[in-house]
Amino acid sequence: MEKVPIVTIDGPSGAGKSTISQRLAARVGYAYLDTGAMYRAVGLKIELSGIDCDDGTVLSRLLDDIDLQLSPVGGKTRVILDGQDVSEAIRTPEISMAASRVSALPLVRAKLTSLQRAIGGRGGVVAEGRDMGTVVFPEAAWKFFLDATTEERARRRVLQLKEQGQQVDAQETLTQIIERDRADSSRALAPLKAATDAVIIDSSRMTIEEVVAFMAARVAGS
């Protein structure tokens, strides 16, 4: 398989993927593709619409009608769903769980996988998610799987939610992280797992800068 200049960063929630992907993208001059944001936007749309996801016809129509734009602003991504900026609305714990639920649906995965390939398939992207190196971009030249202990990931998620001004319960955050990772890892389709050719990084005791520097060196080195 011919390699394409794509960096994939997969891993469980709270491992530091977003911050690290954004910084790495800026450093190597690539675009940043936040695929979790896409699942979150679809989760939000399905929640708001109240449709029955078991009804394939109704779900297909909703997915056909969706207008999802990711627009880079100052290194971050604004998420525009059907003309509305939902960048903050998709970051709540409720939408995290909704995104995880809808991400197990084959129709949703098919739609977002093809959108992601349309955006990043030609290269020049750092793509972050759960199945970037395994399913969406198997031909990526550099694949990383970013992990950290469950406790460390929960601690980081609490800090992040507090920074966003959200009310957080540390114990509940830990429980949700465990539940979401269990669901994301055990689903039949494109489960969270490291690609066989991914470099696995445990970031529990590393700073963001250390991880970014390690990845950037790999990208520059080959």
Residue ranges in contact with ligand DC by CB under 6 A: 13, 35-36, 39-40, 96, 99-100, 103, 129-131, 180, 184
Burial (CB < 10 A; 0-12, 13-18, 19+), residue 196, is exposed
Structure tokens, 114 = 């093809």
Q: Which is nearer to ligand DC, 102 or 221 (CB)?
A: 102
Which residues in the chain belong to E strands, given as ranges?
4-10, 31-34, 68-73, 76-81, 84-85, 125-129, 140-147, 199-202
> Smallest distance, Å, CB 217 to ligand DC?
25
CB of 220 to ligand DC, least distance (A): 25
Residue closer to ligand DC, measured from CB, 99 or 217: 99
Distance in angstroms (rounded) separating the CA atoms of residues 74 and 94? 27
Q: With respect to ligand DC, which residue has the nearer C-beta, 189 or 199?
A: 189
Query: How near is the Cβ of 123 to ligand DC at its closest, in Å?
Result: 18
Secondary structure of 129-176 as H, E, C letters: ECCHHHHHCCCEEEEEEEECCHHHHHHHHHHHHHHCCCCCCHHHHHHH
- Quote the least distance from Cβ 173 to ligand DC, whole Å: 13
Which residue number, 158 or 220, has a Cβ lying nearer to ligand DC?
A: 158
